[in-house]
Amino acid sequence: MAQSRGGAGINLALATAAFTLTFWAWNLVGPLATTYSDDLGLSPTQTSLIIAFPVLVGSVGRIPVGALTDRYGGRVMMAAICFVSIVPVLLVGLFGGSFTLLLVWGFLLGIAGTSFAVGIPFVNAWHAPHRRGLATGVFGAGMGGTALSAFFTPALVAAVGLAEAHVLMAVALAAMGVIMLVFSRDAPDWRPSTDPVLPRMTDALRLKATWQTMVLYAVAFGGFVAFSTYLPTLLQAAYGFAQTEAGLRTAGFSIVAVVARPIGGLLSDRIGPVRVCLASFAITAAMAIALAFDPPAEIRAGVVFVLMAFALGLGTGGVFALVAKLVDPSRVGAVTGLVGAAGGLGGYFPPLLMGVVLQATGTYTTGFVLLAIVAAVTALYTVRAFTEFGRR
């Protein structure tokens, strides 16, 4: 399948921009978690819950959204995600005055995180097989919306106020939805799937490749989501940074992972996605062990976090390059929804665990040890599950 280079580039840019903005909206609560905690008198576990709840719907919601994208196309679905996300963004900003309300509105805010399951099949359809690793990696760099949120949301709230900042985000989402409808196009060769959603999901679940890549993405993208949402809280609790300082460092973490994602896709096109994923998990395990020894702030801890971010970014690019090679294009939407859900769910539980660990032990050491074990086991699984594929 060879699509127009110009059309492919324009639609990749539009999809990436929409993905970036919706991911910013998805992560509106995390950068402000300390403010909510102080204002509402929340415990570390409660703070972790309000951070993690948007991740839940953003994860599980990718399953039906991916299947719907196969049916209605990325253009319509990306615009729909932008428009629907406006409601929970406004509810969080205007009516999030209690722990319970933050949980409820944050749960709905997860809708914004489902955009990933729209963009992957949309971009995949625009590019030939040998270019899909790089293309999906570039699109995946839109997860840098979490970096933008970590960097700009606290400053924006300080400048204009909490409610006003959320209204501005709602306006931006509305504009992005209109832009997608007016300027983006589905690939010329794309055809809507008219099969019912449930059978398509069942068929996707029957694929061995679906389950295998779900495992890998749960660790790679789950690790990125967990750090990008919980790192501001961790840096303030463990290293005593102010909220704005923690937000700046979290933005740096996210930017490194964002830059690494298309590199992971490009390397996957050249040396194979299995090798890229293996390197990702091995480095992640090593860096988690380093963090368990509680390195001092700035240089030592900073280097470890940067290497962790780079490794996770490589892995996220590698996994979807692997999906593009293993899965027929007609099933990519359904499989993407499932794999994306696994990745999001992988990012749901670590913040909760970190909050519990901190409350129980006063440190994060146990949490980092568990991360190291999970990453090491996943590296071994990658070797075992994809040895034959990696030799091709």
- Which residue do the tokens 């406004």 mark? 90
How many Cα atoms sit within 13 Å of 307 on the Cβ side?
Answer: 18
Tens-place pLDDT, residues 55-94: 778 878 888 888 888 889 999 999 999 999 999 999 998 9
DSSP secondary structure of 242-273: -HHHHHHHHHHHHHHHHHHHHHHHHHHHHH-H
Residues 6+ apart with CB under 8 A from 176: 17, 18, 21, 22, 82
CA 287-290-294 angle, 5° bins: 130
Q: Counting Cβ atoms within 10 Å, is residue 185 exposed (0-12), middle (13-18) or buried (19+)?
A: middle
Structure tokens, 355: 């909050």
Identify residue 62 by its one-letter amino acid code.
Answer: R
Residues 6+ apart with CB under 8 A from 230: 30, 48, 51, 350, 351, 354
What is the end-to-end Cα distance of the chain in Å, rounded? 22
Tens-place pLDDT, residues 162-208: 899 999 999 999 999 999 999 999 888 888 877 777 787 788 888 88
Distance between CA atoms of residues 57 and 114, nearest Å? 8
Residue 275 in this model has a pLDDT that exceeds 60: yes
Residues 6+ apart with CB under 8 A from 295: 301, 304
Fold of 5-184+193-390: Growth Hormone; Chain: A; (1.20.1250)
Structure tokens, 340: 């994306």
- More confidently predicted of 374 and 140: 374
Q: Where are the domains of the chain?
A: 5-184+193-390
Give the C-alpha distances (Å, rounded to integers) separating 340 from 47, 67, 110, 332.
Answer: 25, 12, 13, 11
pLDDT at 392: 46
pLDDT at 307: 95
- Which residue do the tokens 């700046």 mark? 248
Residue 45 in this model has a pLDDT that exceeds 70: yes
The closest alpha carbon to 70, from 253, 236, 192, 179, belongs to: 192
Q: Which of 19-23, 180-184, 247-251, 344-348 has the lowest mean pLDDT?
A: 344-348
How far is C-alpha 121 from the geometric centre of its chain's CA atoms? Answer: 16
DSSP secondary structure of 93-134: HHH--SHHHHHHHHHHHGGGGGGHHHHHHHHHHHS-GGGHHH
How many Cα atoms sit within 13 Å of 16 on the Cβ side?
Answer: 20
Residue 3 in this model has a pLDDT that exceeds 60: no
- More confidently predicted of 18 and 158: 18
Distance between CA atoms of residues 55 and 277, nearest Å? 23
pLDDT band at 6 (very low <50, low <70, confident <90, very high): low
CA 104-109-112 angle, 5° bins: 160
